[in-house]
Structure 1
Amino acid sequence: MERRSRTRVAVIGGGPAGLCAARHILSRPEAFDPPVVYEMTDHLGGTWFYEERVGTYDNGYPIHSSMYRDLRTNLPKEIMMFPDFPFDDRLNSFLHHTSVQQYLEKYCEKHDIARHIKFSTVVEKVKPVSMEMETGGAVTWEVISRSTRGDQNTQTFDSVFVCNGHYSDPHLPYIPGIEHFKGKVLHSHSYRYSEPFANKSVVVLGARASGVDISIELAQVNAQVILSHNTPTMSLPPPLGIRQASTVVGVLEDGSLQFQDGSVTQADILLFCTGYNFNFPFLCPSELGLDVQDLFVTPLYKYLLPPGFPSIFFFGICKIICPFIHFDCQVKFALAILEGSVKLPTQEEMEKEVQREMQRKQDTGVQVKHLLNLDKDQWDYYLDLARVGRFTPPQPVFESLYEEVRRQRQKDPQKYRQINYRLIDATQWELLEAPPEQTD
């Protein structure tokens, strides 16, 4: 059927995924109207924008960012970047978060994105509207938004890109007896800096990136840190004095914490570094045929779209990825679908493919809460998207450097960020002898 007009896309969120979506939509003016980007805060950057406050904004909505003051990236800038927009090469490989925020602002400026962002505007409702007669059965989307001034607005789009991030709704696993704990309980979402924890006893739950990094920060201000997790013991530098323990399984009546191995400890603070829930408050997931659990969303074909509604896309749902490269591939694939250069299988075939993929993972022992972890599988995923979507896949050097950084991180979780890298070509990287000049 001949297209009557250009495709209108709503983008929800002005963080890295939303900016990447806007940049690629704007690069195809023959096929797409300029996007409307809805951003609930008064700034771009998403989770990279450091917000000292915790709790809620002035408008009553929860603080979105989980950024803490001294965070540095755990991936080098050489594989943090959007493939078509490198970081300033004078910067060290591992960046302070302010450098990433500045990078996103420059990306936005280069592609003239800001004028398409509706800042301080919350999306309240996204719903599919069937327009059988007019569009040959295609679904359009009604987006109802509200500005901080209270003005409500309704617009209709051909497609919706959900880029609202998933580092803002803390996941707090239930611990039996937690009501007996006499100290302070908080989630890393509300952690900003280490000084208030000086000389306190802290049990940190969870040993992914934030759990390890925050434990190291706390140990440096003489907190007595126990890192509680269910993964193999890590090699943490002995001078830090971080103890490792099995999972906390309960709190006893006297307020002490009990670990899986039966040992018990008292603590001033229990700090959950246990990840984040998926949260789409503007959607009715069941209406889209989606099951949204705390840590899992299904079915999403290619981790992107509900098979029954192939014009709404959920970006960055996967975990343990190179996020900016990931967004770039997903956006290009979504636009190829909307432009018509990718013909999707039937709804039933897409649902079966998602089911097969999830079953394959579970058969290898992957728990449901980890089904969206890609890690080493991300590179085959990008090749698949690029092959079907007919765009250039990420260069092999990214995977090679990703694996090298993993090795260095496992060897020394404290010092791996002192190493600097440089990309030589599509397949090779090198270590830099001396750190380049740090400009942030």
Structure 2
Amino acid sequence: MGAGAAGLIALRHVQEDPDLDGCIFEQTNSVGGIWKYIDKTGNDEYGIPIHSTAYKGLRTNLPKEIMGYLDYKFPESQHSYINHEEVLNYFKKFVSSYDLMGKIHFTTRVTNVQPNLVNEQPSWKVITEDLTTKSTSEHFFDSIMVCNGHYTKSYIPNITDLKAFQGEIFHSRDYRTPDIFSGKRVIVLGAGPSAIDISIELAEFASKVILSCKQPNYAMPNKISIHSPIVSTKENSFITATGDEVECDVLLLCSGYVYDFPFLSPDCGITVEKGKYVYPLYRHMINAMFPTMLLVGIPFTVCPFPQFDIQIRYFLKVLKGELTLPSKDEMLQEIKDEEQTRLENKVPFNHSHKFGDRQWEYNVQLAEEAGFLDLIQPVVKKVYDRAGVRRVDDPANYKYDHMMAIHSVYIVSKSGGMIFNYDHNFPKVESEKTFSFPMDLKLELRNKKLVVVFGQRDGICIGQTLLSINGTLVTGGQMENGEDALEYLSNGANFPASLRFGRTRMTTNEKMFLGSMFYPLYAIASQISPEPHSSGIQVLEAETFKLHCLQTLTGVKFIAICDPRLQGMEIILRKIYELYADYVLKNPFYALEMPIRCDLFNDNLKVLLETIERTGITNV
């Protein structure tokens, strides 16, 4: 149900499986869900509330490089943060690429979903209405995927005497352009991405913009003043939690949305508590009462499109019997245990489905259990976290960043020795889990590091190093307090224990060894070329990175390891070479073939790489 981001990837996976068949019911006349911009607000021509909440200036608040489905990325373009039209075109191209259009029933509204019990496993009766003819139809399915989106029904906060306000009140779902607020004093209530973006848009038109929120962590432009949340109302002003009275002409509520499934009959077993908690969902997605029903995209504060893909791949494994769920009682108990954990950790009720950093462990768990862990790219978390920091530090300009990463730069001398290395944006891959005794992993001390040699689970892989035990750092087999780590882990009395694992970081000597190994590899590539005068290796491509090499006329090799999607590395390597010529070769104290120790070179290289990541190569 729904031909937005979740529904389209669901249909693609269903149609690609020869054992499955399916269709989409979509109540509008096109694909794209909330990403289809519509000037009009209120109801559509059929009297139904307009589904899209996109405003004219909307751009993504995450870079496109991490927003695409697991194996269908956004096309290359100059900008990382793209507008709603580019997102919509991505969906249209996706539909065309997988020939999905014939399986989508447009202007078809689902009015009722009812389980029909057969041997304890329900089939589903779905009643739809053709909005153009007003005729109704019954359909029967083995499984249901609810992909209706969660940005339609507005959440209106409880503000004392709100009706007393004589000015205008809008919800952000009805916001389209800032010009209608010209010369007005506007209070924007909220602190989410929409509140921030809309406030910045309004500041160019409104006479005054006040951002009202609990935690003003953002470095907002000077044109925008920040106040605590409003708690009560007067005719032409609002009183904030700190007692300030703020006069305004317009209240713009960026207060979010509530979950809403009006088409699900009570027999489906799904309830929505206070609009913010959907129960009972195993893993925040599968109806524990009837596990042939999937509700996609319930978690929020996540990287959405990849997670939709992950949830659907997992669910289809369940449907096909390739993955077995716990019993109903076990699923309900797990849900209850998670609720208790949230209570103990004092998680606000309206954050029941808020993930944030939890999303990475969740994604890995689903992917590992369903057998597609190889599609999960650790670099996504790195880019996501950087985007979050930039959003807080510079909310007015972060969407001009270009977010593809350059990880490391090496310089190898003519004789084959590594003379320079700089790790600029190297992905940090770590997993922390709580273990009971005995552990289902085996550790051995190798090269003064405790390494996983047997067992793999929850993102912890063979070859990773033990970094800490219960927060105490582990170095060379010894805990920071002097205890032997293996002896500590052999004692059952020390469990449960929280262990953090991560990628083994190379020492300087190991980097020098690998750098020197590139020299003969480069020479071999030159020798085996069927044509004379080969340039040797210029690009070495792996699934998670690309290695680019530029060899100068003097035989010095400049090597960069970067995100495989980053374009224009030849230009970047030549720019690094220019910095080398300016700040290293012209240094009277530098001797050729010796390690490079030059602060000016280091500083300018860092500035260059950061500029490229923010703006691409256009400003280089």
The normalised TM-score by structure 1 is 0.91
1:355-366 map, 5 Å = 355-366=336-347
Equivalent position of 1:203 in the other structure = 187
Asked whether the 8 Å contact 1:325–1:394 carries over to 2, the reply is no
Q: Is structure 2 residue 118 aligned with structure 1 residue 139?
A: no
SS of residue matched to 2:46: coil
1:79-118 map, 5 Å = 79-118=66-105
How far does residue 268 in structure 1 lie from its aligned partner after superposition?
Answer: 0.5
Equivalent position of 1:333 in the other structure = 314
How far does residue 399 in structure 1 lie from its aligned partner after superposition?
Answer: 0.6
Q: Which has the larger radius of gyration?
A: 2
Looking at structure 2, the residues matched to 377 and 96 of structure 1 have their Cα atoms a distance apart, in angstroms, of 27
1:30-429 map, 5 Å = 31-33=19-21, 35-132=22-119, 137-148=120-131, 149-238=133-222, 241-252=223-234, 254-285=235-266, 287-392=268-373, 393-422=375-404, 426=544, 429=563
How far does residue 419 in structure 1 lie from its aligned partner after superposition?
Answer: 1.2
Amino acid aligned to 2:7: G
Asked whether the 8 Å contact 2:219–2:392 carries over to 1, the reply is yes
SS of residue matched to 1:107: helix
Asked whether the 8 Å contact 1:202–1:267 carries over to 2, the reply is yes
Looking at structure 2, the residues matched to 304 and 387 of structure 1 have their Cα atoms a distance apart, in angstroms, of 17
Asked whether the 8 Å contact 1:126–1:142 carries over to 2, the reply is yes
Asked whether the 8 Å contact 1:233–1:244 carries over to 2, the reply is no
Equivalent position of 2:531 in the other structure = none
CA RMSD of aligned residues (A): 1.6
With over 3 angstroms needed to count, the CA separation of the structure-2 counterparts of 1:211 and 1:285, relative to structure 1, is farther
The normalised TM-score by structure 2 is 0.65
Q: Is structure 2 residue 15 aligned with structure 1 residue 26?
A: yes
Asked whether the 8 Å contact 1:77–1:94 carries over to 2, the reply is yes
Moved more, 421-430 or 277-286: 421-430
Asked whether the 8 Å contact 2:300–2:353 carries over to 1, the reply is yes
What are the superposed Cα offsets for residues 358-391 of structure 1, whole Å, 9 maximum, x if unpaired? 3223322210101111111101000111122222
Asked whether the 8 Å contact 2:110–2:129 carries over to 1, the reply is yes
Unaligned runs of 5+ in 2: 407-542, 546-561, 567-609
How far does residue 356 in structure 1 lie from its aligned partner after superposition?
Answer: 1.5
Size of the aligned set, in residue pairs, is 417
With over 3 angstroms needed to count, the CA separation of the structure-2 counterparts of 1:128 and 1:362, relative to structure 1, is same
Equivalent position of 1:15 in the other structure = 4
Looking at structure 1, the residues matched to 216 and 544 of structure 2 have their Cα atoms a distance apart, in angstroms, of 34
What are the superposed Cα offsets for residues 404-428 of structure 1, whole Å, 9 maximum, x if unpaired? 1111111101111111122676376
Matched-pair identity in %: 35
Looking at structure 2, the residues matched to 16 and 285 of structure 1 have their Cα atoms a distance apart, in angstroms, of 27
Looking at structure 1, the residues matched to 243 and 273 of structure 2 have their Cα atoms a distance apart, in angstroms, of 35
Asked whether the 8 Å contact 1:75–1:94 carries over to 2, the reply is yes
With over 3 angstroms needed to count, the CA separation of the structure-2 counterparts of 1:285 and 1:211, relative to structure 1, is farther
Looking at structure 2, the residues matched to 292 and 172 of structure 1 have their Cα atoms a distance apart, in angstroms, of 15
Looking at structure 2, the residues matched to 289 and 77 of structure 1 have their Cα atoms a distance apart, in angstroms, of 33
